[in-house]
Amino acid sequence: MGRMKTPSAFDGLDLSNGENDLFGTAITKGQHFTQYGVAHSKVNGTLADADIIKMMNPMNYIGKEGATNASNWRIRFGTMDSDTSLAIPTILAADLVNSGLNVDFALAWGVPHRGDYDLDELFNWMDGISAE
């Protein structure tokens, strides 16, 4: 299986990616969020504010002083996801576990990039943690 996005693809050099729009402002539709993106911008794009970039990465807040983290986490990832590396949810889950949080992490075998892996199981999980 090939990858849909190659390195630097999330920070589109032409600011055409949805990820770039995430860092936009009231007057700028999209901005770069990596130094590489700014240095190689094909549209003279600007770099988003460093504090905004930091806020978009949960790894900056898990188990950190001053941050309040949810106690329960449920992470599902399709093994045939061509958009995101398997390392991303795995590292997230490991950091959450290492911070003492309750993590239900599983891989959806043979499933591509999508969000509704097992809705019935999700609702059962939510009912279970809500009853605690």
pLDDT on residue 132? 72
CB-CB neighbours of 29 under 10 Å = 11
pLDDT tens across 35-77, in order? Answer: 999 999 999 999 999 999 999 999 999 999 999 999 999 999 9
Tokens for 93, please give them. Answer: 């889950």
pLDDT at 115: 67
Distance between CA 104 and CA 39 in Å, rounded? 39
Tokens of 107: 């891989």
Q: What pLDDT, on the 0 to 100 scale, is given for residue 45? A: 95
Task: Choose between 72 and 85: higher pLDDT.
Answer: 72
d(CA 121, CA 100): 23
Measured distance CA(12)–CA(88) in Å, rounded: 19
What is the C-alpha R_g of the chain? 17
Q: What value does the mean pLDDT of the chain take?
A: 92
